[in-house]
Amino acid sequence: MTAEASVIEVELESDLKNVEVAEEITRRVSGTVGFSEDDQHKIDMAVHESVINAIWHGNKNDPGKHVWLRFQMFSDRLEIRIRDQGNGYDPSKLPDPLAEENLLNVSGRGIFLLRTFMDEFRVEGIAGGGTEVILVKRINSNNSAQSRRNEP
Amino acid sequence: MSMKATLRQVDSIIVIDMSGRITLGEGCTQLRELVREQLGKGKKELLLNLADITYIDSSGIGELVSAFTTVSNQGGQLKLLNLTKKVHDLLQITKLYTVFDVHDDEAKAIGTFGKAAGA
């Protein structure tokens, strides 16, 4: 893989049925990059949760709105951007799902899982409207599949 | 692939063999309805066999919590059986592993119903 990043962009309609489409694309991309099966599952789950948030909370389930995914494959990391047409949120203001009083809450674990599974997680507002979630997973040096790929 | 569930009764316990995905939408709704249906029939001792669950998301975890509290609030018991590594890890990460009564042996799990949690 060269230093220049490969890019894959996908546009999806705001329909929960498209969450599995996003997962399938994510699995192919993360498999191509060479992540371990465990990391592939973590990336898959992070995208799953992000796309649900984008459709459900961002676009308010409006089928006329869209979600955009952008996968950038670098030699040392995979960067995924998930953009919706919503007003965004401040992740620092979300309740801690591990706090004793929140443990039995039915919801509120999605963002926590993103943070746990990915190396970087950011939420940015888009000028002119919309929100973008940025997820980064670094390629672990112990990742055997990637190591094999890089062998001469 | 959505969730599938098969019910069987062992003694007074309803064992629900689940497979597929427990995710936002169909999977979560199915689980909610299953639990509600059993409670409606007066069946308050439920053992969820998650051996063939391939995927569970944050909504699915929430649905398990909801099922657990709903059954407990009605004086019943809901326990988990045969967690896959992925589900086990998710429950560990979310600190729910100690909330649920988790088993990996069905016969032993059946034997714990009717006893106080942790006994």
Higher pLDDT, A114 or A5: A114
Residue A82 in domain:
yes
A16 vs B59: CB contact, 8 Å cut-off?
A: no
A107 vs B59: CB contact, 8 Å cut-off?
A: yes
Q: Give pLDDT tens digits for A32-48.
A: 999 999 999 999 999 99
Q: What average pLDDT does chain B have?
A: 94
Q: Has residue B118 got a pLDDT over 50?
A: no
Q: Has residue A95 got a pLDDT over 50?
A: yes
Residue A45 in domain:
yes
Q: Has residue A136 got a pLDDT over 70?
A: yes
Distance CA A48, CA A57 (A): 14
Nearest CA in chain B to A20: B1
Question: Could you report the predicted ipTM of this complex, rounded to two decimals?
Answer: 0.90
pLDDT score for B9: 97
CATH code of A115's domain: 3.30.565.10
Contact A68, A55 (CB under 8 A): no
Average pLDDT over residues B35-53: 97
Contact A65, A84 (CB under 8 A): yes
Average pLDDT over residues A23-31: 96
Residue A85 in domain:
yes
Contact A139, A76 (CB under 8 A): yes
A107 vs B58: CB contact, 8 Å cut-off?
A: yes
Distance between A45 CA and the closest CA of chain B, angstroms? 7
pLDDT band at A88 (very low <50, low <70, confident <90, very high): confident
Nearest CA in chain A to B66: A106
pLDDT score for A142: 54
Counted domains in chain A: 1
What is the end-to-end Cα distance of chain A in Å, rounded?
Answer: 12
Residue A10 in domain:
yes
Average pLDDT over residues B25-37: 95
pLDDT score for B116: 59
User: Which chain B residues have a beta carbon less than 8 Å from that of A52?
Assistant: 24, 57, 59
Distance between B49 CA and the closest CA of chain A, angstroms? 20
Distance between B2 CA and the closest CA of chain A, angstroms? 11
Please give the full DSSP string across chain A, using - where no structure is assigned: --SSPEEEEEEEES-TTHHHHHHHHHHHHHHHHT--HHHHHHHHHHHHHHHHHIIIIISTT-TTSEEEEEEEE-SSEEEEEEEESS----GGGS--TTSGGGTT-SS--HHHHHHHHSSEEEEEEPTTS-EEEEEEEEPPTT-HHHHHHH--
Residue A134 in domain:
yes
Distance between A152 CA and the closest CA of chain B, angstroms? 34
Nearest CA in chain B to A110: B58
Q: Give how far Cα B102 sits from Cα of A26, A149, B78, B86, B99, Å.
A: 31, 40, 10, 14, 9
Q: How many CB pairs under 8 A join A and B?
A: 47
**What residues pair up with A7 in beta bridges, in sequence order?**
A72
Q: What average pLDDT does chain A have?
A: 90
B99 vs A113: CB contact, 8 Å cut-off?
A: no
Average pLDDT over residues B18-45: 96
Residue A1 in domain:
no
Q: Which structural domain, as residue segments, surrounds residue A61?
A: 6-150
**What structural domains does chain B harbor?**
4-112 (3.30.750.24)
Q: Give pLDDT tens digits for B100-117.
A: 999 999 999 999 998 755
pLDDT score for A145: 45
Distance CA A40, CA A128 (A): 33
Of B24, B63, B69, the CB nearest to A104: B69
Residue A44 in domain:
yes
pLDDT score for A4: 67
Q: Has residue A117 got a pLDDT over 70?
A: yes
User: Which chain A residues have a beta carbon less than 8 Å from that of B63?
Assistant: 106
User: Which chain B residues have a beta carbon less than 8 Å from that of A56?
Assistant: 24
Average pLDDT over residues A62-78: 96
User: Which chain A residues have a beta carbon less than 8 Å from that of B69?
Assistant: 104
Residue A19 in domain:
yes
Distance between A4 CA and the closest CA of chain B, angstroms? 33
pLDDT score for B36: 97
